[in-house]
Amino acid sequence: MRTVNYSELRKNLKTYLDAVINDSEPLLVHRSGNESVVVISLDEYNSIKETEYIMKSPAMMEIIRKGEDEIKRGGGEKADMDDLWK
């Protein structure tokens, strides 16, 4: 994870924000005398929130566990990833 102090971030805000998006890497911003913050892309944030939502559902987690068990036993079927989005 990249790190930067608040003053440096202000001087080069566009560069740092572009890097967060283009590199898919969070940015840790140190603020003197204050708590640090992390800057992430909207896509990353949405992914985290989706994972959080799924993990809060006992029914969804049970489906995932059953699927993992089935795969470990050699079950399921192979699919072309491109076909999943058609």
Q: Is CATH 1.20.930.40 the right assignment for the domain spanning 2-40?
A: no
pLDDT tens, residue by residue, 22-58: 999 999 999 999 999 999 999 999 999 999 999 999 9
Contacts of 60-64 spanning 24+ positions with Cβ under 8 A: none
Six token digits for residue 43: 């896509």
Residue holding tokens 């708590």?
A: 35
In a 3-state reduction of DSSP, which class is residue 79? coil
Number of helical (H) and strand (E) elements in the chain, helices listed first: 5, 3
pTM tops 0.85 = no
Domain boundaries, the chain: 2-40, 43-74
The number of beta carbons lying within 10 Å of the beta carbon of residue 2 is 13
* Host H or E run for residue 47: helix 42-56
The number of beta carbons lying within 10 Å of the beta carbon of residue 5 is 13
